[in-house]
Structure 1
């Protein structure tokens, strides 16, 4: 296997990020003539063309996209290690990218991000909402908040909290549909949830004692819990929601509990990150901070 030049790899990733060799060379203080030679040398080492280059076109090849994911991951790890070994001057810097689901991201982070950002002013924080199953390596995400442990086998998952769940519906929906006295009665109803198997029209309700699989009349599925809430308020079906999200509507009578005797298993909320980056100063700082907040609450 041929050895890679780290400067060549860094130039390639910067060119992919900025959309050209010239801006990448300017940022990295590399002579433009040298930049072209470096890219050619990297492509010769890899054995594939990585970039389409032309007057009107600059884009990654298929091999370039695959190599970029690995290159960014390796460079990120090396930069973190170097910063960690040098002590970082006691200052946490860089860009921290956080991916969060719509509702849980806002509900969990809104109260805590301002204090974190004030404590670490030299750290740039980027939050992307609506991403519950983000690929941390491919999407260059540092940490993610995730519902449940599914898909966490290859990640470090730190438990933040357990969120109680409930079934609820608008009184107008219940008044115009078949009575609901047992799980079997759900079969003639519309279901609104975040984890339903829409094609099969089958829902999985994780109760404390077992997982109930129930076929229903129709299923609407979305990873946006607040959208599910709005559909429930519009009398479009029975919703599976976090109690914290449904509670204000319950208090005002806009929603009512459905099958309240069914005790559902709480939703586990985790903070996840790649094992190889557990010693990254910015990730470690954020993880320790957020865990400390939830342990104290």
Structure 2
């Protein structure tokens, strides 16, 4: 007889692409996942995966079994979810992804009291600035600062953030305060490499795009902020990175009469997770924790 933990291991390995990554996602030893997979194949009487030293791939039988296995795992998760709802408690695994800097500055502090209020939830939080394929990478939900273009995902707004041009008082004293978009183009800029290096500004009903000269390119918002604090140049950052520095005067907002493109903060999850009590509760918790308007905008 096939065991559910073996079916779950098979789905995790198929989605992760390796036993090592599946074990990391499941919080298990690699040897445990390997044994569960081997036991499943013995029970099924068929080889479901082809293993070589370089890669792992599904056999023809594995491809045929995968969709049913996914359905089995999903239905068992939904059944467990329904039981917790009937008991009025939230419990079980919850796998969440979010951006690194926002995660450490704001998401983590919002999650700690959520977990204290729901101690039976087993949360796995992965912070990564790369694009996350929520379903394929095995996440229940992802926090994103920016548009959600995947039509297979449900997106719920958590808040918003303006992007402001900022620099240190020392930089502005040495180089002058820009008063126009042309001045910004000529300034030294600190740019984010994981996003288009264009800076977009709304002018009337249209949009103006500028390409500033880079003094530094980096893939981390906190480093961008710290480079601006060090007087390296001007940068364009969401307010959740800089609200405290604007308040204490260590960074100065450069007002050139036009507004930079802002962004929404969303939680996104696959459509088959839309009725999850844990996702619903987490969404409402984060909305209240961030506020409306968000506390970094006040």
The TM-score, its normalising length taken from structure 1, stands at 0.74
Matching residue of 2:101: 103
Which of the residues 150, 174, 187 maps onto 2:172?
Answer: 174
1:208–1:217 Cα change, 3 Å: same
Cα pair 1:172 1:235 within 8 Å, conserved:
yes
State whether structure 2 residue 70 is matched by structure 1 residue 61. no
Which of the residues 246, 257, 262 maps onto 2:258?
Answer: 262
1:92–1:262 Cα change, 3 Å: same
Matching residue of 2:283: 287
Please report how far the alpha carbon of residue 79 of structure 1 lies from its aligned counterpart in structure 2 after TM superposition. Answer: 2.5
Please report how far the alpha carbon of residue 206 of structure 1 lies from its aligned counterpart in structure 2 after TM superposition. Answer: 4.9
Which of the residues 232, 244, 250 maps onto 1:248?
Answer: 244
Please report how far the alpha carbon of residue 190 of structure 1 lies from its aligned counterpart in structure 2 after TM superposition. Answer: 2.9
Please report how far the alpha carbon of residue 240 of structure 1 lies from its aligned counterpart in structure 2 after TM superposition. Answer: 0.9
1:21–1:125 Cα change, 3 Å: closer
Q: Which runs of 5+ in 1 are unaligned?
A: 44-49
Cα pair 2:201 2:259 within 8 Å, conserved:
no
State whether structure 2 residue 74 is matched by structure 1 residue 77. yes
1:60–1:241 Cα change, 3 Å: same
Counterparts of 1:129 and 1:112, CA distance in 2: 15
State whether structure 2 residue 32 is matched by structure 1 residue 23. yes
Counterparts of 1:111 and 1:294, CA distance in 2: 10
Counterparts of 1:137 and 1:51, CA distance in 2: 23
Please report how far the alpha carbon of residue 41 of structure 1 lies from its aligned counterpart in structure 2 after TM superposition. Answer: 1.7
Helix, strand or coil for the counterpart of 1:112? helix
Cα pair 2:158 2:283 within 8 Å, conserved:
no
Cα pair 1:97 1:141 within 8 Å, conserved:
yes
1:283–1:80 Cα change, 3 Å: farther
State whether structure 2 residue 46 is matched by structure 1 residue 41. yes
Counterparts of 1:103 and 1:25, CA distance in 2: 34
Please report how far the alpha carbon of residue 234 of structure 1 lies from its aligned counterpart in structure 2 after TM superposition. Answer: 2.1
The TM-score, its normalising length taken from structure 2, stands at 0.74
- Structure having the higher Rg: 1
